[in-house]
């Protein structure tokens, strides 16, 4: 207190002096002015900060994926759904690097090792390019090679392989590629194995988001519509005959209702049987391969399945050695494949990839789908059907008494009453590994 009082005496004039009164008046004016400014402009300043913050968020949402930095992936190969996974993995790699993925080349033919025999087909010949970017806006982005300014300035990143190339090492490579000096390059060209075999760092929901953005080009979509229309037409004829035999007086009204059908992804082709038997031996399991007799029996025992109904058999005809797939079905289940249905001419016009894309759409839109849980084709169909159910508010369709639209089953896994097991995708899974390589983990 003594020091404070002494310093006050030194710094301040006596209170009775005119100088002191003037000094006090100046202090009061300054305090009032500061209070006024704070009151009038303080709220304005806070609003400006909020506006600036919101603007930056909207800017990042719209332009978060850079349009001047690119990732180039190698040609995508193998089956349709392996290619879809590979494409999604390339997209997510580009997203991790905050770059646009240059539109990749798909493969129209089905060759696993003879890369020189692959028939490349542009992505936009199968899926709608602009529609993809519209649906996935702000999440991932595709670009054209014409968007690249410097056509010769790519930085090459070699993807590792083998046991020593771990998930962590792969992620470390991605982190390094997202930083200087690599990030300065306009294009990062990733070389090495097919993207389907790249390490998986992303949850199922991220893959599902990309799959939803894949919309078939009009030509292929219309061909799928023709096949589905033919299936439903045959179904109407079958139900019409059944109703006439039962003297149904309301036949005309029933004809107006949509006709349901069952789609079975029947994996009994020679290439699959060789693969699945080797897989069973390696994994020491017995729920991968399924014979025709086992499939027909389990499909026939699906609880609550209304008959008569058409059963569409999705099968790779050129690889099929068993010509008796139409026999042995339970009464009321009427099996049709492409030739018997009269739509084989539609498929013959196209290469393998397009044929598979048409069959995928036919199975996806079936009222009931039955597939093999170790098949990527079946697994991605169930993933999309699970999404449809979730949008309808169905959280779980696994219960025996659950009657929902878009039910799916795995015929390679026995369910109740000697039927196939109910099947849903675990959308909360941390990776797509179970779907990518096949599994008997089907969430039900």
**Torsions phi, psi of 133, nearest 5?**
-65, -30
The model's pLDDT over 89-109, given as tens digits with 9 standing for 90+, comes to 999 999 999 999 999 999 998
Query: What is residue 142's predicted lDDT score, i.e. its pLDDT?
Result: 98
DSSP string over 302-369:
-TT--SSEEEEEE--GGG-----TTSSPPTTEEEE-HHHHT-HHHHHTS-HHHHHHHHHHHHHT-SEE
The model's pLDDT over 357-391, given as tens digits with 9 standing for 90+, comes to 999 999 999 999 999 998 899 999 999 999 988 88
- This prediction has a pTM of 0.80
Higher pLDDT, 367 or 42: 367
**Torsions phi, psi of 198, nearest 5?**
-65, 155
The mean predicted confidence, pLDDT, of the chain is 81
Which of 113-122, 154-163, 394-403 is predicted least confidently? 394-403
Q: Spelled out in words, what is the top-level CATH class assigned to the domain 70-212? A: alpha beta
Q: Which of 22-31, 73-82, 285-294, 399-408 has the highest mean pLDDT?
A: 73-82
pLDDT above 80 (res 401): no
Query: What is residue 277's predicted lDDT score, i.e. its pLDDT?
Result: 85
pLDDT above 70 (res 405): yes
pLDDT above 90 (res 243): no
The model's pLDDT over 273-294, given as tens digits with 9 standing for 90+, comes to 887 888 888 888 878 888 899 9
**Torsions phi, psi of 167, nearest 5?**
-60, -40
pLDDT band at 116 (very low <50, low <70, confident <90, very high): low
Higher pLDDT, 418 or 280: 418
The strand pairing partners of 187, in sequence order, are: 70, 154
Helix (H) or strand (E) holding 428: none
Looking at the chain, the whole-number percentage of residues with pLDDT higher than 90 is 56
Looking at the chain, the whole-number percentage of residues with pLDDT higher than 70 is 75
Q: Identify the three-state secondary structure at position 167.
A: helix
Overall average pLDDT of the 205-217 stretch: 96
pLDDT band at 40 (very low <50, low <70, confident <90, very high): very low
pLDDT above 70 (res 267): yes
**Torsions phi, psi of 364, nearest 5?**
-60, -40
pLDDT above 70 (res 62): no
Query: What is residue 6's predicted lDDT score, i.e. its pLDDT?
Result: 33
Query: What is residue 211's predicted lDDT score, i.e. its pLDDT?
Result: 96
Query: What is residue 318's predicted lDDT score, i.e. its pLDDT?
Result: 58
pLDDT band at 54 (very low <50, low <70, confident <90, very high): very low
Query: What is residue 50's predicted lDDT score, i.e. its pLDDT?
Result: 32
Contact between 107 and 74 (Cβ < 8 Å): no
Query: What is residue 282's predicted lDDT score, i.e. its pLDDT?
Result: 86
For the chain, the domains span 70-212, 218-437
């Amino acid at each position: 207190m003594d020091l404070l009082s002494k310093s006050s005496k030194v710094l301040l004039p006596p209170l009775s002096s005119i100088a002191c009164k003037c000094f006090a008046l100046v202090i009061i004016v300054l305090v009032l002015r500061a209070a006024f400014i704070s009151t009038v402009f303080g709220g304005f300043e806070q609003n400006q900060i909020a506006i600036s913050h919101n603007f930056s968020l909207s800017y990042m949402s719209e332009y978060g994926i850079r349009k001047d930095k690119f990732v180039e992936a190698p040609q995508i190969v193998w089956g349709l759904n392996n290619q879809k996974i590979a494409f999604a993995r390339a997209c997510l790699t580009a997203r991790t690097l905050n770059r646009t993925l240059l539109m990749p080349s798909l493969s129209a033919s089905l060759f696993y090792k003879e890369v020189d025999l692959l028939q490349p087909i542009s992505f936009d010949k199968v899926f709608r390019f602009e529609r993809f970017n519209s649906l996935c806006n702000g999440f991932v982005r595709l670009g054209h090679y014409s968007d690249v300014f410097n056509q010769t300035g790519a930085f090459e990143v070699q993807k590792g392989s083998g046991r020593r190339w771990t998930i962590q090492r792969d992620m470390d490579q991605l982190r390094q590629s997202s930083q200087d000096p690599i990030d300065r390059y306009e294009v990062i060209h990733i070389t090495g194995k097919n993207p389907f075999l790249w390490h998986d760092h992303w949850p199922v929901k991220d893959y599902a988001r990309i799959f939803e953005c894949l919309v078939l080009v009009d030509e292929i979509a219309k061909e799928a519509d023709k096949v589905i229309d033919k299936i439903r037409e045959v179904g109407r004829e079958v139900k019409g005959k059944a109703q006439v035999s039962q003297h149904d007086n309301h036949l005309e009204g029933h004809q107006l209702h949509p006709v349901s059908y069952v789609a079975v992804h029947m994996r009994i082709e020679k290439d699959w049987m060789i693969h699945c038997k080797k897989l069973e031996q390696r994994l020491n399991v017995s729920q991968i391969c399924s014979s025709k007799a086992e499939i027909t029996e389990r499909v026939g025992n699906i609880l609550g399945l209304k008959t008569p109904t058409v059963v569409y058999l999705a099968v790779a005809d050129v690889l099929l050695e068993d010509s008796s797939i139409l026999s042995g079905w339970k009464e009321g289940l009427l099996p049709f494949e492409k030739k018997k249905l009269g739509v084989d001419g539609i498929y013959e016009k196209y290469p393998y990839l397009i044929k598979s894309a048409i069959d995928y759409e036919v199975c996806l839109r079936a009222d009931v789908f039955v597939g093999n849980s170790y098949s990527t084709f079946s697994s991605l169909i169930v993933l999309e059907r699970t999404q449809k159910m979730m949008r309808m508010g169905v959280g779980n369709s696994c219960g025996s008494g659950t009657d929902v639209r878009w039910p799916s089953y795995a015929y390679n896994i026995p369910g109740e009453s000697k039927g196939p097991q109910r099947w849903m995708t675990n959308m909360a899974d941390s990776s797509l590994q179970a779907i990518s390589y096949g599994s008997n983990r089907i969430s039900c």
